[in-house]
A = this chain, B = another copy of it.
Amino acid sequence: MTKFKKILVTGFDKSALDKDSWTRIDKLTDSITFIPSEEVDCLFSRFNKVDKKLINSLPNLKYIGLLATGVGTVDLEFAKKKNIVVCNIPGYATESVAEWVFGLILEHLHDLERAKQVARHGDFSGSGFSTTEILGKKFGVIGLGRIGKRVAEIASGFGAKVCYWSRNRKTEMEKKGMRYKELQDLVSSCDFISLHLVYNKNTEEILGEKLINSLKKGVAVINVAPMELVNITALEKRLKKNDITFILDHPDEMNPKDVQKLSHYKNCIIYPPIGYVSKEARALKQNIFVSNLENYLKGKPTNQVN
């Protein structure tokens, strides 16, 4: 196979990819469509569901290209049974998200929004501002995948004492001076905690009532991972005590009532999900997406997930 017959694009429109990427894709297919048809042998998808029904409706489907890291939207087993190759884009936004985490931390520590506002109004007194340094503080990273590792490295650059919890010990990080801690110990001792776990049934509400109650007074917890990792009721109770700060950036995937509840607390800082939007991440994502396609056609699929 050297070329696709017809690519069906679902879940995103032309603007999701730059012109250069579409030019590369054009060379790999006879046609591109946004309307399902029997001829379709390649499917593009992002966050939309690719279930048995959709797969069955495309009898000639050979390849599913995901313009995303997450694969939970695709019935991978069923695709495999049908000999359909599914490829995703792992880790394209690692650096973008890791730097974002430090933006969120420093914005909070230095009260930057208020600082900009008072300066805009001509108040240069600096009155009422006081910050805490990252240097020398205990910085806990929960989940040491790609992003968790980069967050740990940057925290080391700031001179923090970095520790981590992860399902598996990471000796290469321990050699760099990062200490492994049990979750309970990490949670109760750290001044900063950043969550970097994938959401699945093992990690659901991993930050449960007991751990949330154990959080050290004054801690800043940053969660740029899904909020399903956190027990919202316990979090709300703890926020009410006004002795921790919680920063999150996935309100879009939460129950709107929960967002509403948390947004009442000044010590809960909510951002839109824009950690992954760096220009570099966007370019890398598209390159991996198109390369996956090219490599499949060359008979050597990359980033195959099924």
Contacts and interface: CB of A to CB of B under 8 A. Distances in A.
Contacts of A133: 95-96, 99, 278-281
Contacts of A95: 133, 135, 159
A252 B118 CA distance: 12
Majority SS at the chain A contact face: helix
Given A107-B112, A113-B113, A277 B131 contact: yes
A154 interface: yes
The copy count of this chain in the complex is 2
Interface in A95-109: 95-96, 99-100, 102-104, 106-107, 109
B110 A113 contact: no
A33 B136 CA distance: 38
A163 to B, nearest CB: 17
Given A153-B157, A156-B157, A252-B124, A274 B110 contact: yes
Contacts of A2: none
Contacts of A104: 112
Contact of A271 (B102, B115, B136): B115
Contacts of A274: 110, 115, 126, 129, 131
A123 interface: yes
Contact of A279 (B100, B107, B130, B281): B130
A126 B96 CA distance: 14
A299 interface: no
Contacts of A53: none
A158 interface: yes
Given A99-B109, A99-B133, A112-B112, 10 more contacts: A99-B110, A99-B135, A106-B107, A110-B274, A115-B272, A115-B274, A119-B251, A130-B279, A153-B157, A157-B158
29 contacts: A95-B133, A95-B135, A96-B131, A99-B131, A99-B134, A99-B158, A103-B107, A107-B107, A107-B116, A112-B112, A112-B271, A115-B272, A116-B270, A119-B251, A119-B270, A119-B271, A124-B272, A124-B273, A125-B252, A125-B272, A126-B272, A126-B277, A130-B277, A132-B280, A133-B279, A133-B281, A135-B280, A154-B157, A156-B157
